[in-house]
Amino acid sequence: MKRLDKSPTGIVGFDEVTNGGVPKGRPTIVCGGPGCGKTMFALEFLVRGATDFNEPGVLMTFEETSEEMSKNVASLGFDLQKLAAKKKLVLEYVRIEPSEIQETGEYDLEGLFIRMQHAVKSVGAKRVVLDTLEAIFSGFSNTGMLRAEIRRLFRWLKDHGLTTVVTAEKGEGTLTRYGLEEYVSDCVIFLDHRVTDQISTRRMRVVKYRGSSHVADEVPFLIDERGFSVLPSSSMKLNHEVSSERISSGVKDLDEMLEGKGFYRGSSILISGTAGTGKSSMAAHFAQETCRNGERCLYIALEESPAQAMRNMRSIGVDLEKHVRKGLMRFEAWRPTQSGLEMHLLQIHKLVEQHKPSTVIIDPLTSLMTGGRDQLHSMLMRLIDYLKMQQITGFFTALTTGRNKEIEETDVGISSLIDTWIFARDVELNGERNRCLHVLKSRGMANSNQIREFVMSKEGIHLLPVYVGNGTMLTGSARISQEARERAENLQRQQTAEEQQRVLSGKRKALEAQIAALRLEYAQEETRATLVKQQDARRERELSEDMLQMESFRSGARRGKIGGRNGKVEVEHGS
Amino acid sequence: MGARTGVKSKKPSANGNGRFLELRLYVAGQSPKSLVALANLKKFCAEHLDGQYELQVIDLVKTPQLAQNDQILAIPTLVRKLPVPIRKIIGDLSDTTRVLVGLDLRDKAGAE
C-alpha cells in the first residue's frame, strides 16, 4: 500500500509530531483564536519551502497587505520581498472592501481562480498559503455561491498537486467560524494560546490527519525570533544510545563514592538539597572538570548573574572565567519567571544547538517550577530525552525546602528521570550546621552508601568520612573535638608506654651493671685461682728439685735419675 | 494595452450632464455570466450614459495579471474608475436600478 506522501514544513518539531509534515499536494487547515500563531505557521511553511526545500510558494492574503505581512515577519528573519524578487514567492494580496461593492445578478469567484492560477504559474509554485480565506465571507452576500466556490477552490488546489495551508479563525464551539474544515478533510491543526498564572503558553494539536499516524496530544510550541517551534512532548521510544564511558565529577572524593570513576557520560545527574548545601559548588566543579578536559560546557544559572556566580566560585578555588574566555564554557543566566516552561526549554535547546556542549548544567532546576510540578515533570522529561539523544551529560541542582524524609519524597516526581541522584543535606548538631552528602542512587554502578561530610575550602571541595562511633554520627566541630579527644587519648597512651619502656630499660641497665660486676669478680677469682695453682706447681717443682738435690746430695750418684715418678718419690719422701 | 478587448469608447463632450465615467468590465473568457453582463452593460450605457463614458472590457483569461490592480475576485465585475471613489458592481448587471446605485448615478438618473 502506498503511504501518504508528506511535505516537510521545515518547522522545528512539527515534522516530528506529524511524522513528516503536512499532506503533500493537499490542503491543510490551521485554525485557532486571534493571535494563536496560525499566520506565523503558514508563513514559515511557505518560507522554509522556498528556502530549504526548493518549493516556491504563493502567499495569498485576504486581511493584510503584502507590505504589512513582510514587515510582520521581518522580525523572524524572513525576507518576503527578497524571496519574491528571486521568484521563490508570490505575494498576492486580495482586498475585500464590502462598502465599495454592489451586487447585481449572478457572479462567481472566477477572478480569484484566475489570480491564483496566474500566481502559481509565474513561479512554478508547489505550496500555497491562504491567509485568512474566510475573509471573503464578509465581502459577498451569496454564501451558497461562496461555499460552492470554496469547494471548487480546494478541488482545484488538489488537482494541481499544491500543498496548501489555509488559516481559519476559531468559531464558537466549532473549529472554524465558517466551517471550512468540512472542505479540508485531510489535515486539521488547532492552535491555542492561553495564559496560566500570567504566563502564556502556546499549544498545538493535530485534530485530524487522514491516513497518517500523528501525536494526538496537545504539544507546546513557541514563536520567537527564530520562528515557529513545536516541542514534541517526548520521543516515544526510549532508544537512545548509551555510553559506558565514565567522566569525573570534578570532586575526587565524590568520584571515589561512585566506584572511583565518576558519572556515566550522557547520564542525568541531580543534586538536591536544602539551601546552602553546596549544590552550586558541586556544579561549578563539574563545569570546571568538563572544561579542563577540553570539552564544552553550558551553564544555565537561574538564580545568579554569571558575574556573581563566577565570583562566588572563585572563593572555593574554581576559576570558570578562564574557560568562558576560552570559549569552552557558556554561561547563561535568566530569570525563571520571565517566561513559561516551554520558552525555557526552547532557549535551552537553542543554546545547546549553538554551543554544542558535552555537559549542560542547570542551576537550579527547581526555579523553573513556576508552572506546577506536572509541567516541570514533562518538561524535564523532554529535556532529559533531548540531552540523552545527543549524549550530553545533564547536571541539575534542585532546591528542596523540607527536611529529611520529606525532601526525598518531594523530588520523587523527577527522580525517576535521573540516573545519579546525589543528596546534600545539613546536619544540625551542637549548635552548628554542617553539610553532608550521600549518593541516593546511581544507576549502573555500585555507589558508596556512605554519608560524607562536605567541606569547602579555597582548595575546593572535600568529602570527609564522618565520625561514626558510639551509635552517633558526628560532623563539624563535634567531629573535630571528638578527633582531638581521641588524639589526646592516644598521646597519653603513647606517653605511658614510653614511660614503661624507660623504666624497663633502666632496670635492664642496672641488671647489666650487676652482671658486669659479678663477671669482674669472677674473673678476679679465676685469676687468683690460677695464680695459686701456678704457685703451687712451682712450689712443688721447687720442692721436688730440692728433694732431688737432697737425695743426690745424700746418696751421691747411686740412683741416677728418678724418672717422672715424682709422686712416688713424694710419697716415699713423705712417709 | 493590447490585451484589452472590445474597447468601446466615445470622446468626452462638453454637453450632457457633465459627468464622465471611466468604466472597466472584467470578464473571464466567453463564460455565460460574462456574456450576459456585457450585453446588459451595453444596454445600460446606451440608455443612461448618453455617451459620457469610456468602457474597457478586460478578459482575465487572457490577461490575468490585470486582476490584482483592481482587486478583482468576482466575475463579472464592473469597476467605475472615474470619477473617484472607485465603485465596483459585481454580477451580471441584470438589475438596472442596482447598477445605477452602484455607479452612484441614481439621483441624476431620476432627475433626467
For B15-65, the DSSP string reads SSSS--EEEEEEE-TT-HHHHHHHHHHHHHHHHHTTT-EEEEEEETTT-GG
Does B3 contact chain A (CB < 8 Å)?
A: no
The winner for highest mean pLDDT among A185-189, A243-247, A524-528, B29-33 is A524-528
A129, A60 Cβ separation under 8 angstroms: yes
In angstroms, the first-to-last Cα distance of chain B is 35
pLDDT, one tens digit per residue, over A250-304 is 888 888 888 888 888 888 898 888 777 788 888 888 998 899 889 999 998 888 8
pLDDT, one tens digit per residue, over A27-84 is 999 998 888 888 889 999 999 999 999 999 999 998 888 888 888 888 888 888 898 8
User: What's the rounded mean pLDDT across residues A491-506?
Assistant: 91
A interface test, pick of B90, B93, B97 with most A CB neighbours within 10 Å? B90
Report the interhelical angle of A66-74 vs A38-52 (nearest 10°): 80
**A104 to B67: CB separation less than 8 angstroms, yes or no:** no
- The B residues from 29 to 88 touching A (CB cutoff 8 Å) are 31, 33, 36-37, 40, 60-61, 64-65, 67-68, 71-77, 85-88
In the structure grid, which three cell numbers stand for residue B77, read together? 465585475
A29, A180 Cβ separation under 8 angstroms: yes
Q: Which residue of B has its CA nearest to A114?
A: B64
In the structure grid, which three cell numbers stand for residue A254, read together? 565524590
In the structure grid, which three cell numbers stand for residue A341, read together? 516552561
pLDDT at residue B102 above 90?
no
Task: Identify which of A331, A338, A346 has the alpha carbon closest to the alpha carbon of residue A367.
Answer: A338
- Residue A234: pLDDT band (50, 70, 90) is low
A280, A396 Cβ separation under 8 angstroms: no
> Rounded to whole angstroms, how far apart are CA atoms B76 and B86?
16
In the structure grid, which three cell numbers stand for residue B44, read together? 445600460
Q: Residue A31 has what DSSP assignment?
A: E
Task: Identify which of A82, A2, A10 has the alpha carbon closest to the alpha carbon of residue A48.
Answer: A10
pLDDT at A411: 56
From residue A568, alpha-carbon distances to A547, A561, A562, A571 in Å are: 12, 13, 9, 5
User: What's the rounded mean pLDDT across residues A219-231?
Assistant: 79
Polymer length in residues for chain A: 575
For chain B, which domains are there? 5-106 (3.40.30.10)
- Tell how strand A218-224 and strand A420-429 pair up: unpaired
pLDDT at B1: 40
**B87 to A97: CB separation less than 8 angstroms, yes or no:** no
User: What's the rounded mean pLDDT across residues A387-397?
Assistant: 87
In the structure grid, which three cell numbers stand for residue A92, read together? 498576492
Neighbours of A550 (CB within 10 A): 11
pLDDT at residue A405 above 80?
no
Identify the helix (H) or strand (E) that includes residue A32: strand A27-32
A154, A28 Cβ separation under 8 angstroms: no
Comparing CB atoms, the residue among A94, A112, A114 nearest residue B61 is A114
> Rounded to whole angstroms, how far apart are CA atoms B112 and B110?
6
User: What's the rounded mean pLDDT across residues A175-186?
Assistant: 80
B interface test, pick of A114, A115, A123 with most B CB neighbours within 10 Å? A114
Comparing CB atoms, the residue among A92, A107, A136 nearest residue B75 is A107
In the structure grid, which three cell numbers stand for residue A410, read together? 518531594
pLDDT at residue B4 above 60?
no
The percent of residues above 90 in pLDDT, for chain A, comes to 19
pLDDT at residue B97 above 60?
yes
pLDDT at residue A129 above 90?
yes
SS3 A390: coil
Q: Which residue of B has its CA nearest to A92?
A: B68
The answer for residues whose C-beta is within 8 angstroms of residue A469's C-beta and 6 or more apart is A482
> Rounded to whole angstroms, how far apart are CA atoms A333 and A325?
17
**A112 to B73: CB separation less than 8 angstroms, yes or no:** yes
pLDDT at A274: 78
- Residue A511: pLDDT band (50, 70, 90) is very high
pTM exceeds cut of 0.80: no
User: What's the rounded mean pLDDT across residues A11-22?
Assistant: 84
Report the interhelical angle of A476-555 vs A566-574 (nearest 10°): 70
Q: Residue A108 has what DSSP assignment?
A: B
pLDDT at A413: 63
B69, A111 Cβ separation under 8 angstroms: no
Q: Which of A110-114, A528-532, B45-49 has the lowest mean pLDDT?
A: B45-49
ipTM of the prediction greater than 0.95, yes or no? no
**B75 to A111: CB separation less than 8 angstroms, yes or no:** yes
User: What's the rounded mean pLDDT across residues A166-176?
Assistant: 85
pLDDT, one tens digit per residue, over A418-457 is 888 888 877 777 777 788 888 888 888 888 887 888 888 8
A362, A394 Cβ separation under 8 angstroms: yes
pLDDT at A526: 92
pLDDT, one tens digit per residue, over A309-340 is 888 888 888 888 888 888 888 888 887 776 67
User: What's the rounded mean pLDDT across residues A203-218?
Assistant: 83
Q: How many CB pairs under 8 A join A and B?
A: 98
Superfamily for domain range A246-465: P-loop containing nucleotide triphosphate hydrolases (3.40.50.300)
Name which residue leads in pLDDT, A213 or A204.
A204
pLDDT at A531: 92
**A104 to B93: CB separation less than 8 angstroms, yes or no:** yes
The percent of residues above 70 in pLDDT, for chain A, comes to 88
pLDDT, averaged across chain A: 82
User: What's the rounded mean pLDDT across residues B81-103?
Assistant: 84
CATH architecture of A6-230: 3-Layer(aba) Sandwich (3.40)
pLDDT at A569: 47
Does B28 contact chain A (CB < 8 Å)?
A: yes
pLDDT at residue A525 above 90?
yes
pLDDT at residue A127 above 90?
yes
Residues in A whose CB is inside 8 Å of some CB of B read: 92-97, 100-112, 114-115, 117-118, 136, 139-140
pLDDT at residue A410 above 60?
no
pLDDT, one tens digit per residue, over A146-162 is 889 989 999 999 999 99
